[in-house]
């Protein structure tokens, strides 16, 4: 029943975010409206974070 209600009121991006949050239990939690708390160790070890740090270092070095 809850899935049916979600499909009625949420768009595909919101449903995708809900599914991603379900796949990462105890690592990410929603605290309030629009507030997400994530495990910092998980974030620092992610490939996206490592790439962002590398890009930032290149940007600083180029100036």
What local confidence, expressed as pLDDT, does residue 1 receive? 63
Give the chain's mean pLDDT: 81
Q: What is the mean pLDDT of residues 55-63?
A: 93
Q: What is the mean pLDDT of residues 7-32?
A: 77
pLDDT interval class at 54 (50, 70, 90): very high
Q: How far apart are CA 31 and CA 29, in angstroms?
A: 6
Q: How far apart are CA 15 and CA 7, in angstroms?
A: 8
List beta partners, residue 30.
Answer: 36
Q: What is the mean pLDDT of residues 2-26?
A: 76
């Amino acid at each position: 029943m809850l899935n049916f209600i979600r499909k009625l009121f949420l768009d595909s991006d919101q449903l995708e975010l809900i599914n991603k949050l379900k796949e990462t239990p105890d690592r990410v939690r929603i605290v309030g409206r629009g507030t997400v708390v994530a495990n910092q160790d998980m974030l620092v070890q992610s490939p996206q974070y490592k790439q962002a740090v590398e890009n930032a270092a290149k940007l600083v070095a180029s100036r």
